[in-house]
Copies of this chain bind each other. A is one copy, B any other.
Amino acid sequence: MFIIQRNTYFFVNLRTNFETMSNQNIKTVAVLTSGGDAPGMNAAIRAVVRTANSLGLECYGVREGYNGLIHGDFTKMGPRSVKNIINEGGTILKSARSSEFKTPEGRDKAFENCKKHNIDALVCIGGDGSFTGAKVFNEEYGLPVIGVPGTIDNDIFGTDNTIGYDTALNTAMEAIDKIRDTATSHNRVFFVEVMGRDAGFIALNSGIATGALDILIPEQKDSMEELFGTFRKAEKVGKSSSIVVVAEGEKLGNIYDLAKATKDEFPNFDIRVAVLGHIQRGGSPSCADRVLASKMGYGAVMGLVEGKSKVMVGVKSNRLIYTPIEEAIKKHNEIDKDLLKISEILAM
């Protein structure tokens, strides 16, 4: 393996000498999960705890995200604390959004609690909102922080995939596969809403994977006329049933409005709406997510020990990389425009 310097991120040589590491000043790390839960967060917690312990560090788990920092909800964790969780969805540390951490008073209490437990560094598993909190906290109090991208939305810059995304894709895909059985049996049109907030990753990939007739995502300007045109083309080639996958953040309109407008245009269509909802957040993580989370949890602790801070750990082409956290927050993982083209070509 070799080190490649890039302007925005860099590959790390992990075959670092462990003896060197133990010279570092970090003796105790804390880990928390923040924001929406994602399958694989537990695998990441496990990796953080076991890697820290293997290096002789102490490790505390903080419950309910930044709220736990503020209210002092710290638990010391050893290798046995994280047994039998790699295959569990959700997060044993629980997660929450914290409005109190957005106030200086909240962060002050949080720092007091970190001092009380001799925390030398903080691992924050979550999305960009959580990273913003970590960044501000670091800037104010100097505590080293490292971000681990855990969100099903895959909207984080600096990594091929975020933890939970692959599992959510499979969940969405399996649900749409099931819906297709009914769509085909009844010659129906289904509008299926998938998660992803302002990002179309889940919609685009699950849509391609299920042979969706059309896929509507916020990153692309859509129009009802184009959608209607696609329906007409589908009728012409003899498709008797169709799935349209819609990202929850789609700008063209809410899924019920889209379905209604389509019914107005094609009164003979038998149209149904399905909102997949929260099933997409849960479930036992896929192999890819468990390995990714294990790698990132390991990479987070190794990064801290090597002196990194205010970075996010990521994985590109199976290699650990670190991106400055402000970049991970500001930039966005861009949708693969070619996939959009592929989705059109393969739909019919």
Q: With the chains together, A2 CA to B245 CA distance in Å? A: 29
Q: With the chains together, A19 CA to B90 CA distance in Å? A: 42
- Assess whether A220 is interfacial by the CB under 8 Å rule: no
Chain B: CB-nearest residue to A13: B338
Contact yes or no, B178 A279, CB < 8 A:
yes
Contact yes or no, B338 A14, CB < 8 A:
yes
- Assess whether A235 is interfacial by the CB under 8 Å rule: no
Contact yes or no, A274 B278, CB < 8 A:
yes
Q: With the chains together, A50 CA to B346 CA distance in Å? A: 6
Contact yes or no, B346 A208, CB < 8 A:
no
Residues in chain B near residue A337, CB distance under 8 A: 1, 15
- Assess whether A21 is interfacial by the CB under 8 Å rule: no
Of A134-142, A247-255, A283-291, the one contacting chain B is A283-291
Contact yes or no, A14 B341, CB < 8 A:
yes
Q: With the chains together, A272 CA to B36 CA distance in Å? A: 13
CB distance from A149 to the nearest CB of B (A): 15
Contacts known (A317-B317, A338-B320, A345-B54); A177 close to B14, Cβ less than 8 A: no
Q: With the chains together, A68 CA to B290 CA distance in Å? A: 35
- How many copies of this protein are present in the complex? 4
Query: Taking each of A95, A173, A205, A272, which has the highest tally of chain B beta carbons within 10 Å of its own beta carbon?
Result: A173
Contacts known (A185-B37, A210-B87, A287-B170); A342 close to B179, Cβ less than 8 A: no
CB distance from A336 to the nearest CB of B (A): 6
Interface string of A189-215 (1 = CB under 8 A from B): 010000000000000011011110000
- Assess whether A171 is interfacial by the CB under 8 Å rule: yes
- A interface size (C-beta, 8 A): 88
Interface string of A95-110 (1 = CB under 8 A from B): 1100000000000000
Which of B89, B206, B291, B339 sits near A205, CB closer than 8 Å?
B291
Residues in chain B near residue A180, CB distance under 8 A: 282
Q: List 19 A-B contacts (CB under 8 A).
A: A1-B338, A14-B341, A33-B185, A79-B237, A90-B185, A91-B185, A94-B184, A94-B186, A173-B287, A173-B290, A177-B282, A178-B281, A179-B278, A182-B281, A182-B282, A205-B287, A206-B287, A208-B290, A276-B279
